[in-house]
Amino acid sequence: MPHVDLTLPHHRYRIHIEPGLLSRLGELVRSVAPHKKAAVLVDANIAATLGARAKASLAAAGYDTLLHAIDAGEQHKNLDTVRQMYDVLIDAKLERKSPVIALGGGVMGDSVGFAAATYLRGVPFIQCPTTLLAMVDASVGGKVGVNVPRGKNLIGAFYQPNLVAIDIDSLDSLPPRELRCGLAECVKHGVIRDAARFNWLQRVVPAVLRGDKPTLVELVQWNVQIKANVVMADEKETGERAHLNFGHTFAHAIEATTGYGDGGYYHGEAVALGMVAATRLAIDRGLCPPTLLSQLVKLLGDIGLPTHAADLPPTPRLMEAMRLDKKVASGKLRLVLPRQLGEVVIDDTSSDEAIAAAWQTLRQPQSVTVPA
């Protein structure tokens, strides 16, 4: 069955990718974290469906299983939710070797991961992502954490899971808008590492959007492999892992100023806009050819992601929010900019004027020529 192995100097784990995998969750968890108790912390929207299936599988594998539902919108990814998780784990008397399973999207994975990293100074942690975005990005690589009002993911840790279990069938019930948001991170992986797969993605968009299973398995496996390769080369983001932030410094500023998806842009939509802005900046600075923007805008447009936004907050507010992002070093903004399809650089030499100009161009449709 398709899988990717992630090997680090002190830890290794397998990412399983399979339709119907939830029914085997119990045996998989037992192979990495045998114990008498387990806890599944699940997005409340899927507690009765996928949550019940996960619990049944764990019970069949001999776990005394606690299933607890959490409100999982981005607005709940905060320390109050983590405190609620601690109470649940303490009440259930979960022990040092009891596995804690995050079942849901990136918000669940990040916040449950942070609770698992800190409860009893760390318990076995299993990622069970149910959204495309969490499958191809958030669940792999060990970044866990929460938002605070002044910024996204400002509180967190590196805490690698013991296992990632991806049931492709979870995508059956995913709203189309969320599927498109996951595809934004796939586009990102193509731009930063893999021109051939970027072009493959352009060809398979219709199959992905209609939920074709073999295409979805291939899509997820490709993206997990890219993510795992980057994390294996640079676990703690001292170098190339920062490439995964392509589009994200712009995106986080959009999210921070428009309320983290609460009626505004979802993360993947903000990333789509952020990748367009970063590419526009790279072109304006003579770092990459204009054709890259054409290819990016075409692919994002075909997926149904935004490539411009007339309703963005004023540029000075967006610039201020960018400065609060984690990617500021010695007061300088470090941006990931494309050189060509499949290659990016980390750059801290863009002037405020050039960055502000990129924000301005995001306000109207991109004037690019799409190659025939």
Kindly state the smallest distance separating residue 57's Cβ from ligand GLY, in Å: 27
Is 334 near ligand GLY (CB under 6 A)?
A: no
Catalytic residues: 121, 143, 185, 227, 237, 241, 245, 248, 252, 267
Q: How far is CA 164 from CA 142, 185, 188, 287, in A?
A: 11, 18, 21, 37
Torsion sign over Cα 42, 46, 47, 50: negative
Q: Which residue lies nearer to ligand GLY by CB, 124 or 142? A: 142
User: Tokens 């863009």, residue?
Assistant: 350
Pick from 31, 6, 34, 258: nearest CA to 152? 258
Instruction: Mention every residue, 6+ apart, whose C-beta is less than 8 A from residue 295.
Output: 198, 202, 341, 371
Within 4-33, the residues that bind ligand GLY by CB under 6 A are none
CA contacts within 13 A on the Cβ side of 229: 11
- Residue 137 as a binder of ligand GLY (CB under 6 A): the answer is yes
According to the binding rule CB under 6 A, does residue 141 interact with ligand GLY?
A: yes
Q: Is 231 exposed, middle or buried (0-12, 13-18, 19+ CB in 10 A)?
A: buried
Asked if 241 touches ligand GLY (CB under 6 A), the answer is yes
- How far apart CA 2 and CA 213 sit, in angstroms, is 13
Compute the least distance from the CB of residue 239 to ligand GLY, in Å.
12
Q: Which of 244, 272, 299, 355 binds ligand GLY (CB under 6 A)?
A: 244
Least spacing, CB of residue 142 vs ligand GLY, in Å: 8
Q: Which stretch binds ligand GLY (CB under 6 A): 137-145, 161-169, 171-179, 252-260?
A: 137-145
Q: Which is nearer to ligand GLY, 63 or 222 (CB)?
A: 222
The residue sitting closest to ligand GLY, measured at its beta carbon, is 244
User: Given the rule CB under 6 A, which residues bind ligand GLY?
Assistant: 137, 141, 143, 241, 244
